[in-house]
């Protein structure tokens, strides 16, 4: 490997994220439990979220709007303003969550800083991702932070162009095979998958990946063995 830049995904790679979505989803289902059973609400919410991605993008704000929309459908427009307020409060509580770094993250960044250019490559809401990075106190490790609307081939190509490197000089580390691994391999970069114990259904892929430029490790500290 002749890697110059190591890009890290943020949510569920550097810090805890998905569990907050799951907890809010659970609270949302409890709020509406008199109208629909949990599994139906969850299914409706996921469908609404995915349907809204093109309009709202990823992140908590879009999630709040999708919860409200799902509640309107689930209650046949009978949802009370009070319940809408409670749903909005669930979202605001998520936005105000403290940052909980994942095990080994600081150690890995400290070890790699100076040897490689380190960047963050994340998707989601710009303001929220910037706020989380600030709260994480990890800013000093990174040379550049890229917040993409979608983690696809085109946006990774834009990133390597911005960093002025060849695709094979990029290594991406992240928890999503769909967003952090596949597009990076597609453009000719290296990728290491560090799975997180829960993954949003939309990020799951069916097939396995077979590439000499791909590795999967159990925890983030294991990436040091390759670097």
Closest by CA position to 58, among listed 127, 144, 5, 141 = 127
- The contact mask relative to Mg ion for 4-33 (x = CB under 5 A, - = no) is -----x-xx---------------------
Counting contacts by CB under 5 A, is residue 129 touching Mg ion?
no
Q: Which is nearer to Mg ion, 11 or 169 (CB)?
A: 11
CA distance 70 to 58: 17
Q: Give phi and psi for 141, each to the nearest 5.
A: -80, -20
User: Considering only 58-66, 80-88, 140-148, 171-179, which stretch makes contact with Mg ion by CB under 5 A?
Assistant: 171-179
Report the SS3 class of residue 187: coil
Closest CB 114 distance from Mg ion, rounded Å: 25
CA-to-CA dists, residue 74 to 31, 33, 40, 49, 214, angstroms:
12, 10, 9, 14, 43
175 binds Mg ion (CB under 5 A): yes
Does residue 125 belong to the site contacting Mg ion (CB under 5 A)?
no
Interface region with Mg ion, contact rule CB under 5 A, candidates 38-46, 76-84, 133-141, 172-180: 172-180
Question: Contact between 49 and Mg ion (CB under 5 A)?
Answer: no
Sign of CA dihedral 149, 155, 160, 161: negative
Give, as one character, the DSSP assignment of residue 7: E
In this complex, which beta carbon is closest to Mg ion, that of residue 70 or of residue 176? 176
Chain contacts with Mg ion (rule: CB under 5 A)? 9, 11-12, 175-176
């Amino acid at each position: 490997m002749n890697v110059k830049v190591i890009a890290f995904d943020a949510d569920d790679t550097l810090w805890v994220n998905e569990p907050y979505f799951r907890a809010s989803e659970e609270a949302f289902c409890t709020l509406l439990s008199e109208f629909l059973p949990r599994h139906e609400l969850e299914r409706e919410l996921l469908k609404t979220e995915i349907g809204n991605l093109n309009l709202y993008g990823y992140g908590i704000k879009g999630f709040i709007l999708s919860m409200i929309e799902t509640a309107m459908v689930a209650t046949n427009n009978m949802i009370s303003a009070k319940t809408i307020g409670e749903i909005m409060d669930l979202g605001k509580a998520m936005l105000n969550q403290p940052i909980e770094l994942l095990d080994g993250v600081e150690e890995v960044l400290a070890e790699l800083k100076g040897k490689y250019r380190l960047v963050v490559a994340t998707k989601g809401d710009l303001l929220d991702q910037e706020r989380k990075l600030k709260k994480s106190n990890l800013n000093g490790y990174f040379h550049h932070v890229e917040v993409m609307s979608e983690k696809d081939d085109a946006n990774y190509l834009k990133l390597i162009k911005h960093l002025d490197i060849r695709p094979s000089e990029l290594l991406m580390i992240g928890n999503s095979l769909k967003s952090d691994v596949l597009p990076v391999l597609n453009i000719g970069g290296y990728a290491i998958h560090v799975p997180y114990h829960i993954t949003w259904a939309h990020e799951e892929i069916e097939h396995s990946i077979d590439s000499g430029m791909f590795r999967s490790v159990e925890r983030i500290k294991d990436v040091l063995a390759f670097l």
